[in-house]
Amino acid sequence: MQARLVLSEGQWNSVPLPVGRDPSWTLAEEYIYAAAYMSALRQQIGGTRASQLAEACVLRRLYPGLRFDPRMEQEIQSIIPK
pLDDT digits (tens, 9 = 90+) for 29-78: 999 999 999 999 999 999 999 999 999 999 999 999 999 999 999 999 99
Q: Is the pTM above the cut of 0.95?
A: no
- Decide if 11 contacts 20 (C-beta within 8 A): no
Tell me how many domains the chain contains: 1
Distance of CA 17 to CAs 1, 6, 50, 58, 67, Å? Answer: 7, 12, 12, 12, 22
Say how far apart CA 28 and CA 34 lie, in whole Å.
Answer: 10
- Decide if 4 contacts 30 (C-beta within 8 A): yes
Write out the residue range of the structural domain in which residue 67 sits: 3-79
What is the per-residue pLDDT for 80?
84
DSSP β-bridge partners for residue 3: 16
What is the per-residue pLDDT for 11?
84
